[in-house]
Chain A
Amino acid sequence: MTGLRYVYAVCRPFGTPLQSQLTGIGGAPPGLLHHHGLVAVVSQVPEADFGEEALKAHLEDLDWLAATARAHQGVIDALTTVTTPLPLRLGTVFRDCSGVRSMIEAREDDFRRTLERLEGRVEWGVKVYLDPEPPEPAAAVAARPGSGRDYLRRRRESTHAQEDRWQRAEAFAGSLHERLCRYAEDSRLHPPQNSTLSTTPGQNVLNAAYLVPRKHSEEFVETVDRTKGEAPGIRVELTGPWAAYSFTGEGQS
């Protein structure tokens, strides 16, 4: 069987072994490839799935992409419990181990610098949603507008109310972001998520990632938690801790 090498992450050597039952993409167990004082976390993937044409075709298959992303994340998660991994982007594949070694040699200074910067830090994701507009009171819906003027007035009022809600949500997101930045060394604002894709009710106002030292994580999470009930109609969601996916580049936007 010909196999390609899928690389999940680069780490510094770590003492704790990975859990023995850990599986990566396609159920293959990930292994450690030591080279030049760094470790690449690698598993074998079939060329039939990860060769150029196959990969291209697979990427249009959302189920395949989801399964692959979850397997990738499973390995990164396991690594996060024993070390601070530098995660690679989904779909980084080499022909063989010597290809992986050359890659490490070419990028080692870069890897060391980034690993140093991320050591002992995790990423937290925070999203703020504006809840869907409350339904109009039944009476208002039932009562047909008496005149064109009534109708226009009602529409104007509803538009103003919607603008107010947006402004409040944005102000809330801004102040939350400021508070969270006190515990974070760095932050990234990702584009708001589309509600159809996230299948989460409400509109996404803030979609941020924070790089937080592990020792400050508790305070960070508590700060997010304390926003509970702070603003009506606004929902805050926390995800993480993640490996520092959003902070792997120096000047990344």
Chain B
Amino acid sequence: MTVVERREIALVDLLDRLLAGGVVITGDITLRIADVDLVRIDLNALISSVNESVPSPFELLPPPCGPGKAVSPCEPEEAL
């Protein structure tokens, strides 16, 4: 059993944190991942999309809102 192996961080560990963690802010241009809690699934989809061009798991947030603009159902909670 190997413990504490120091080596380059695996991409999957990195994306677990960078795509599912961190503070969510609606920037001027912000990407949103279709289902932030399921990075694993997103990555599956992403990889399939690379291979088989299935629809992208990513979508862009609408630009910071004009009032009365339709709000997408999965607006992040912390969004401004």
Q: Are B27 and A248 in contact (CB under 8 A)?
A: no
- A247-B28 Cα distance, complex, nearest whole Å: 24
Cβ-neighbour of B3 out of A52, A224, A245 (below 8 A):
A224
B residues 21-62 in Cβ contact with A at 8 Å: 21-25, 27-31, 37-40, 43-44, 46-47, 49-50, 56, 58-60
The residues of B that contact A16 with a CB separation of less than 8 Å are none
Q: Are B25 and A89 in contact (CB under 8 A)?
A: yes
Q: A87: which of B13, B21, B30, B40 is its contact (CB, 8 Å)?
A: B21
A59 at the interface (CB under 8 A from B): yes
Please judge, given known A-B contacts A69-B18, A90-B18, A194-B43, whether A235 and B25 are in contact too, CB under 8 Å.
Answer: no
Q: Number of contacts between A and B (CB, 8 Å)?
A: 161
Note all chain B residues with C-beta closer than 8 A to A60. Answer: 46, 49-50, 56, 58
Chain A residues, CB < 8 A from B9: 70, 73, 239
In angstroms, Cα B16 to Cα A237, docked, is 15
Cβ-closest 3 pairs across A and B:
A245-B21, A89-B22, A245-B17
Given contacts A192-B40, A248-B21, A249-B78, 4 further A-B contacts (CB under 8 A): A88-B24, A90-B22, A191-B37, A239-B9
Please list 7 pairs of residues, one from A and one from B, whose beta carbons are closer than 8 Å in the complex, sorted by A's number: A56-B58, A62-B46, A89-B23, A94-B27, A94-B29, A95-B29, A106-B80
